[in-house]
Homo-oligomer: A and B are copies of this chain.
Amino acid sequence: MFILVTILISICVVDSSVIINRFEDEYCDLDIELKNEIASYKNITEQIRGEVINKGFGATVFDELSNFIDKFGARIAGSDVLENAIDHMVNITRQRGFNDVFTEDVKVPHWMRGYESAEMIEPRKQTFKILGFGTSVSTPEEGITAEAIVINSFDELNKIDKQKIKGKIVVFDAHFVSYGDTVIYRSQGASKAAKKGALATLVRSITPFSIYSPHTGSQYYSDGVNKIPTAAITLEDADLMRRLQDRGEKIVLTLKMFSSMDEKTSRNTIIDLKGREHPEKQVIVSGHIDSWDVGQGAMDDGGGMIISWMVPVLLKKMNITPKRTVRAILWTGEEPGLVGAAAYLNKHINEVPNINFIMESDEGTFKPLGLDVAGSKKARCIIKEILNLFTPVNKMTESGSPGSDIILFVQKGVPGASLLNENERYYWFHHSEGDTMNVENANDVIQCASFWASFAYVVADLSQDIPRD
């Protein structure tokens, strides 16, 4: 669990607006032969693009996404609906005559949200919309009624006298800077406040924009610290409490939160298009099939899951088999902490040297821009050269932590990449009731699908492996 905490702090930090593209300053000395070989893939990438965009395969994939989301809605880890959704993906794969699809069992935590409410009772009555964070414990039956104190940052919390925190509900009011910078108040806030005697924490939602929309997500209790209830509040209520406190008003809240926690069996789903020359070598494309229990997991990560699912399915349909195996993985249990990916890595640890490249789309499937890449300098040079086949979809960033699940593999030295896309509004909807099919644009998803499949094909077919350090 501790490792996962560390990992989770670092995931999903790709914010394309702030990443400096250091790559442009590097010098790539690729063999002319390799450059020519890469250039020779232009035709086949155009064929794939033609199949996806002009011949309607992409539209079919978008319909599959829409059907999937409408049929199942939210799919929290451990729920029956998630298992039904996994069965569905296996079935539609087989219905396309694709039989090399199988699942692997994974034990996942199953946190279930119960009744939740928050009411300000002083200085006036106002109901607050809240969303408990995954793994949050319950309040006592009668709730917690206590004074609230609004805190800007862990720095402020560290400096403040313990007596001012003890017995209170701590409201973390850190404004959104980037997901990576701000999510720590959600993931670690409860334990940090509990250490100073807080009874509960409410956390300003991790988003730059709100229509009174709270955003849930995972949080982690530190060992040896009292577990206190913790939930998201809206930007609106965080700002309201901040103003009231600044005016010297005493704020009293009543918080009721109920939840249960157990363990269930879920499954990673694996779809293989075996390589024609090196079936033991793999290029993995992936997204996660589980979602939070609010919204419908269309953007996080229905879109990324479906464009990854389609890669082997499309290539088989087109009867183009690359040299290496293309494996699509639909991870389970990403939201509670990369649980499916960790189990997969553990089970397949011996195959890690044979994972030539690993890809994940988990930050939206809006208009595609390129890739966020991790790997050796040589690897990045090759990836950049391949990306140029897709100009203008050839942006390359190097955040250091592409994807979410795949970061576990990247940390083992596997070169990998996540999809860069125009996801400026991603966090407006992320982990909220707003993550529905309305966020998905058919044309964008189809463009992503075309790029994703073509890129994976080229990497899987190239005469040389993507080199490691």
Interface residues of A (CB under 8 A from B): 66-67, 70-73, 123-124, 126, 129, 210-213, 235-236, 239-240, 243-244, 247, 295, 428-429, 432-434, 436-438
Contacts and interface: CB of A to CB of B under 8 A. Distances in A.
Given A211-B210, A213-B212, A236 B436 contact: yes
6 contacts: A70-B243, A72-B124, A211-B211, A212-B295, A236-B434, A240-B437
Given A73-B126, A129-B433, A438 B243 contact: no
A418 B73 CA distance: 44
Contacts of A129: 433
Contacts of A434: 210-212, 236
Contacts of A429: 211
Which are the 10 A-B pairs with shortest beta-carbon distances?
A211-B434, A212-B433, A236-B436, A211-B213, A211-B211, A212-B434, A236-B438, A73-B126, A70-B243, A239-B438
Contacts of A213: 211-213
A284 to B, nearest CB: 32
Nearest to A129: B433
A295 B127 CA distance: 10
A438 B210 contact: yes
B212 A437 contact: no
A70 B244 CA distance: 8
A65 B1 CA distance: 48
Contacts of A72: 124
B66 A211 contact: no
Given A236-B434, A236-B438, A438-B235, A211 B428 contact: yes
Contact of A432 (B212, B235, B239, B438): B212
A187 B428 CA distance: 30
Contacts of A73: 124, 126
A126 B293 CA distance: 11
Given A433-B129, A437-B239, A437-B243, A71 B124 contact: yes
A213 B214 CA distance: 12
A126 B67 CA distance: 15
B212 A436 contact: yes
B433 A66 contact: no
A121 B345 CA distance: 39
A124 B124 CA distance: 40
A240 B435 CA distance: 13
A19 B66 CA distance: 37
